[in-house]
Structure 1
Amino acid sequence: MPTKDGGRHGKQNLVHHRHFARIGFALAKAALARGNQVIGTTRDGSAPECLPADRLAVLALDVTDLDAAAPVVLAAHALHGRLDVIVNHAG
């Protein structure tokens, strides 16, 4: 279980699909409040203005496109050089 400072490795990088819908929004908001980086995905790659943009990146991902996931994971990894947590609660 991570500590308040992000665990043994410092702050974490989270990738989260549909992070602006209900539970996902709360998870993204909590992770950002703890100082973590959040990489979210939405169908169109847009982010709400109410979340801090300095530690939030949003990538476009249509989960119905089976060939789309791998390139998005690679792009997310390229942003920070590592991925610590991947959350998918779509569907």
Structure 2
Amino acid sequence: LYAPDPARRWELAPYRPSAADLAFARRFIEWNALPYGIQRVDACRTPEGDLLLVELEDHNPYLSLGLLDEDTRTSFERALVASLRRATAHS
């Protein structure tokens, strides 16, 4: 999801990341190295079109799941459940 209008940053719209966008986010996810849980990489575009890290969230109480399409939401939910099962198996 992204905010197409910076003046209305809570009005989110679907965003399909490019391979380069995903590679950018994965660098921070791999660096953070959490064994389980949720990580959200927030970024903005520079005037030149490059991505700039704004925030790396690994404890995020609100994920805007209600704004996702059903397939994306279901995929996220399944991945989260699998992550929690792995975490509790190692407790």
Verify same fold: TM over 0.5. Answer: no
Shorter-normalised TM range: under 0.3
After TM superposition, the score normalised by the length of structure 2 is 0.27
After TM superposition, the score normalised by the length of structure 1 is 0.27
Higher relative contact order, chain-length normalized (CA < 8 Å, sep 6+):
1
The structure where helix makes up a greater share of residues is: 2
